[in-house]
Amino acid sequence: MSNSTRIGREPLIRISKKDVAPWWQKAVVRVVALIAALVIDAIFIYLFTKMNPLDVFSTMFKGTFVFDYGTTFFINKLLRTLRDMATLLCIAIALAPAFKMKFWNIGAEGQVLMGGLATACVMQYFGDSLHTPALFMLMLTASIVAGAVWGFLPAFFNAKWKTNETLFTLMMNYIAIDAVACMTNIWRGDKSAMGTINQATQAGWFPNIFNQRFTLNLFIVAALMIIVFVYLRYSKQGYEISVVGESENTAKYAGINVKKVVIRTMIISGAICGICGFMTVAGKDQAISTATAGGYGFTAIIVAWMAKFNTFYMAIISFLIVFLEHGASEIANTYGGLNDYAASVITAVILFCLIGSEFFLNYSIKLRKGSKKEA
């Protein structure tokens, strides 16, 4: 081998793990990443559409913040962003314990759908017979159980027979999607679309609080954010999760029942996803479809990872992602030349740069000293 002569020589580029970066460094790297993303986007926009990138960016901003139509409009638009952020955040919160345990739960989409489906079933079949408080309790319980079961199954098989949890949870999504498709086909009857559930009676719909049906969603997620934060950070179970995540052997050595922790954590993860399904069906859509989770089950994985399982950071990142998403559809609606796909490219570049910048926070790159001499 010719490179045997190079043994002992330093490589041209050396990558080494860094200590935790100070906050100002983190801020600088992220701002630079954002600027870089915007520049790349600007080039992309100009090259492909010949439009003024600044106009496009300001349109994107209007996906969430609109000042042109008065305060009510501004608040409503912002609230819709917060509502979608709450949905995304709720799933990310649900994923956090599982991912922290290094259990790759790719099945949030399905767990949310099952929670939603359970809620929808209760609304359909008990909407007329139960009183409102009992109905809501049953909806909530059913959704938690449904989500928890969808989380429990892959965990149980993993703990018992070492099945691959990534594939297992992923496949459970398709079962959930088809279960929802099947039920909506039945419920639809002679119509070509199902419409809202209990349209006439509004049974099981969240109450209108401050003029919005989804107000409760925001409170539920805010509460979950705090509870899961405390659970992961200060509880014994939260500690067990992080030990199992760091090293299963260490956990075993420390006397932690790994199987029990895995199953328990996935039940919690699935249950929170179930709650998300509950509030999406009862609070947001008042309907169910295979698009109820809207792909957020997968997007939430990015959120959970980017935030390093800190639920408060998750809130910020969820907001950013939903802001970008709403901005993208605003762009697509405003400009004929930039359809949904082009708008998605713009947001993808931003996410790519932000996630990519993490690399520079975790690792430092050193060039070989004196490399010039060799040139």
Partner 1 sequence: MKKLLAILMALTLVVCLCACSSDSSTDNGGGTAKADFKVGVITIGDDTEGYTKAHKDGIRAAAKTLGLADSQIIWKENILENAGCSDAADELAAMGCKVIFSNSYGHQTYIAEVAKKYSDVTFVSMTGDFAAISGISNFKNAFTSVYQSRYISGVVAGLKLKELTEKGTLTKETQPGSFDKNGNIKVGYVGAFPFAEVVSGYTAFYLGIKSVCENVAMQVTYTQSWFDVEKEGAAAEALIADGCVIIGQHADSTGAPAATEAANKKGTIAYSVGYNVSMLEVAPNAALTSATNNWSVYYTYAIKAVMDGKAVDTNWAKGYAEDAVSITELGTACAEGTAAAVEAAVKGLKDGTVKVFDTSKFTVSTEQAGVTVDADKHVTSCKVDLSYYDYSTGSPVVVYQGDTVETIADGAFEESVHRSAPYFAIRIDGITENEIK
For residue 251, what are its two tokens? 């956990």
Give the nearer residue to partner 1 in terms of CB position, either 141 or 198: 198
Smallest distance, partner 1 to C-beta of residue 247, A: 26
The DSSP bridge partners found for residue 13 are 367
Round to whole Å and give the CA distance between 185 and 192: 9
Which positions lie near partner 1, rule CB under 8 A? Answer: 69, 71-73, 75-80, 82, 124-125, 127-128, 185-200, 209-212, 214-215, 218-219, 222, 225-226, 229, 284-287, 289, 291-292, 310, 312, 315, 329, 332-334, 336, 339-340
The DSSP bridge partners found for residue 15 are 365
Smallest distance, partner 1 to C-beta of residue 59, A: 13
Side chain identity at residue 322, one-letter code: V
Using an 8 Å Cβ cutoff, are 108 and 300 in contact?
yes
Give the nearer residue to partner 1 in terms of CB position, either 286 or 299: 286
Round to whole Å and give the CA distance between 323 and 82: 9
Smallest distance, partner 1 to C-beta of residue 356, A: 25
Name the one residue in this structure whose structure tokens are 């439009």: 51
Smallest distance, partner 1 to C-beta of residue 77, A: 7
Count Cα neighbours of 170 within 13 Å in the Cβ-side half-sphere.
7
Give the nearer residue to partner 1 in terms of CB position, either 246 or 340: 340
Total Cβ atoms within 10 A of residue 178 = 12
Give the nearer residue to partner 1 in terms of CB position, either 264 or 284: 284
Side chain identity at residue 301, one-letter code: I
Cα–Cα nearest to 101, from 212, 257, 258 = 258
Round to whole Å and give the CA distance between 132 and 231: 31
Smallest distance, partner 1 to C-beta of residue 20, A: 15
Q: Alpha helix (H) ranges present in the chain?
A: 23-49, 53-61, 70-100, 108-126, 132-161, 165-188, 215-234, 236-246, 248-253, 258-279, 296-306, 311-334, 340-362, 371-374
Round to whole Å and give the CA distance between 114 and 175: 10
Q: How many residues does the chain have?
A: 375
Smallest distance, partner 1 to C-beta of residue 372, A: 45
Cα–Cα nearest to 111, from 225, 267, 245, 224 = 267
Using an 8 Å Cβ cutoff, are 191 and 58 in contact?
no
Give the nearer residue to partner 1 in terms of CB position, either 232 or 261: 232
Give the nearer residue to partner 1 in terms of CB position, either 117 or 153: 117
Smallest distance, partner 1 to C-beta of residue 73, A: 5
Smallest distance, partner 1 to C-beta of residue 193, A: 3
Alpha carbon separation from 237 to 233, 234, 258, 275, 335 (Å, rounded):
9, 9, 11, 21, 51
Give the nearer residue to partner 1 in terms of CB position, either 196 or 371: 196
Give the nearer residue to partner 1 in terms of CB position, either 154 or 297: 297
Give the nearer residue to partner 1 in terms of CB position, either 43 or 186: 186
Round to whole Å and give the CA distance between 239 and 242: 5
Give the nearer residue to partner 1 in terms of CB position, either 86 or 148: 86
Smallest distance, partner 1 to C-beta of residue 96, A: 15
Smallest distance, partner 1 to C-beta of residue 143, A: 17
